[in-house]
Amino acid sequence: MIHSNKNNSMFVPEVVVQRIPIYIRILQEELKYGNTVISSKNLGKRLQMSSAQIRKDLSYFGKFGKQGQGYPIEFLVEKLKIVVGLGQKWNACIVGTGRLGQAIINYPGFSPEGFKIVAAFDSNNIKLDSSADSIPILGMESLSKTIKQKSINVAIVSVPALEAQKVIDLLVFEGIKGILNYAPISPKVPNGVVIRNIDPILSLQSMTYYLKES
Amino acid sequence: MIHSNKNNSMFVPEVVVQRIPIYIRILQEELKYGNTVISSKNLGKRLQMSSAQIRKDLSYFGKFGKQGQGYPIEFLVEKLKIVVGLGQKWNACIVGTGRLGQAIINYPGFSPEGFKIVAAFDSNNIKLDSSADSIPILGMESLSKTIKQKSINVAIVSVPALEAQKVIDLLVFEGIKGILNYAPISPKVPNGVVIRNIDPILSLQSMTYYLKES
DNA sequence: GGTTGTGAATACATTCACAGCA
DNA sequence: TGCTGTGAATGTATTCACAACC
């Protein structure tokens, strides 16, 4: 072919990748409302962003819209899910079953979005007994074995700050390539491992810049 | 003056503001290790970022370093804290005392970083009795009064998704200008209100882009 | 008329590279 | 010599603006 179509090997900026799940979420809401088509303008209004940005973002992955009408929602959701890696199911483990860990385990929101928590680990295995629905709480010594047995491919870290880097190193060593870290540290991971930090303190602290007087 | 110095009215990019609390955190760690001076090079190594970026970031706020030596850590922390709004104390309330809300209330990390949770609210005020150390759990009808009485200036939202926008609107109406939102929505707030979202699902979902095969 | 998809233009963020200082 | 602070250069992201199409 002469004019090659948009293909999967083209580089997509990280910011764009991060916005796709947001689009998916809103599109799914729109589906629930019974809508079947949405324009970039309306989607933009919904998210307080420009329609141009939405069109540009989507254009990295293909042509999903129809001129004069907009995007067929169901079709677009389907495509975006595949693009962003939600075509497959992900098995997650959680390390650290303190108060936060327990809240995460019991949060019902992960599973419907494609992330099934299939095991929990804690160095102090008294912290939580089989309370949560069928998620086993195991000692750290079972980590390696369980990751393989249950095909775990992402990990959630909710251990205290001082232990976090050690735990992350261990997870990386065991082959985990995606980590969601709740510990308030700036973790180091090798290339090829993706890590995301959930850090409410940092969020608050950068907010105050805009709130302080003077 | 002819060559005006860097003054507080110059625009600082948002990304820069967001990095300042990270610097503060690392600098405080270095202090604990007993170090008194750090170069942009070493700070950069610690954070896996370029020394140039650190110097540039800091330069938005003043000249804190000494050529040939680096930055005096204690002095720099002090300055950055003031710059970012941590010179004052912040009183926070939390709305929503379900499992997540409880985990947040009991997390000991907010207070030492300048955010004191002074009240909690829930529409179902049976959810938590005075369990947590001295933080009162109140009904939503007390919100307005309590915000004034306790000089609350930031709010944490941990209610279910369906209620979140309503709660946020209410907080804004009551004069709250900074909100940390844990609900999985794209909230709308008027200009002048700063909101930050904590959204582990979105973090996971954009991670998988880099993990999926093909 | 309404809306997409996209090069071109603009705006923003990072890095370079070096003068100036301790 | 070793480091900061910063303009200039480069790299990235967003917005503009319009041809192509329903």
| pLDDT per residue as tens digits for the range A89-138 | 999 999 999 999 999 999 999 999 999 999 999 998 665 555 556 799 99
Provide the CA A109 to C1' C8 distance, Å, integer.
43
User: Distance from A214 to chain B by nearest Cα, in Å?
Assistant: 9
pTM attached to this predicted model? 0.94
Provide the CA A84 to C1' C1 distance, Å, integer.
34
Size of interface A-B (CB pairs under 8 A): 179
| pLDDT per residue as tens digits for the range A133-187 | 679 999 999 999 999 999 999 999 999 999 999 999 999 999 999 999 999 999 9
Helix (H) or strand (E) holding A194: strand A194-197
Strand partners, B66: B70
Distance CA(A26)–CA(B202), nearest Å, equals: 12
Task: Give strand D nucleotides closer than 7 A to any protein Cβ.
Answer: 1-7, 12-17, 20-22
A45 compared with B134, residue with greater pLDDT: A45
What pLDDT score does A4 carry?
A: 36
Q: Which nucleotide is nearest to B51 (CA to C1')?
A: C15
pLDDT at B130 over 80: no
Q: Which nucleotide is nearest to B69 (CA to C1')?
A: D3
Name the percent of chain B lying above pLDDT 70.
91
pLDDT at A64 over 60: yes
Is residue A155 within 8 A of residue A116, CB to CB? The reply is no
A151 touches strand C (CB under 7 A): no
Which of A48, A177, A206 shows the shortest C-beta gap to B84? Answer: A206
User: Distance from A152 to chain B by nearest Cα, in Å?
Assistant: 13
Preferred mutation among B201, B213, B214 to probe A, highest tally of A CBs within 10 A: B201
Which range is least confidently modeled, A35-49, A129-143, B9-23? Answer: A129-143
Identify the structural domains of chain B with CATH numbers, from first to last.
14-82 (1.10.10.10), 90-203 (3.40.50.720)
pLDDT at B1 over 70: no
Residues 32-91 of B with CB under 7 A from strand D: 39-41, 51-52, 55-56, 58-59, 63-71
What pLDDT score does A3 carry?
A: 33
Interchain contact, B99 vs A107, CB within 8 Å: yes
Which of B46, B86, B109 shows the shortest C-beta gap to A208? Answer: B86
Distance CA(B191)–CA(B193), nearest Å, equals: 6
| pLDDT per residue as tens digits for the range A6-34 | 555 689 999 999 999 999 999 999 999 99
Q: Collect all residues of chain A within an 8 Å Cβ-Cβ radius of residue B201.
A: 21, 109-110, 113, 115
pLDDT-derived band at A213, boundaries 50, 70, 90: confident
Interchain contact, A205 vs B84, CB within 8 Å: yes
What pLDDT score does B4 carry?
A: 36
Would you put residue A175 in left (φ > 0), alpha (ψ -120 to 50) or beta? left
What single string gives the DSSP state of each residue in B89-117?
Answer: -EEEEEE--SHHHHHHHH-TTTGGGTEEE
Provide the CA A6 to C1' C17 distance, Å, integer.
38
pLDDT-derived band at B196, boundaries 50, 70, 90: very high
Q: Collect all residues of chain A within an 8 Å Cβ-Cβ radius of residue B100.
A: 103, 107
User: Distance from B158 to chain A by nearest Cα, in Å?
Assistant: 12
Backbone angles phi, psi at B177, to 5 degrees: -110, -5
User: Distance from A73 to chain B by nearest Cα, in Å?
Assistant: 18
Which of B46, B90, B208 shows the shortest C-beta gap to A90? Answer: B208
Q: What is the dihedral of CA A101, A104, A105, A106, to 10 degrees?
A: 120
Is residue A121 within 8 A of residue A138, CB to CB? The reply is yes
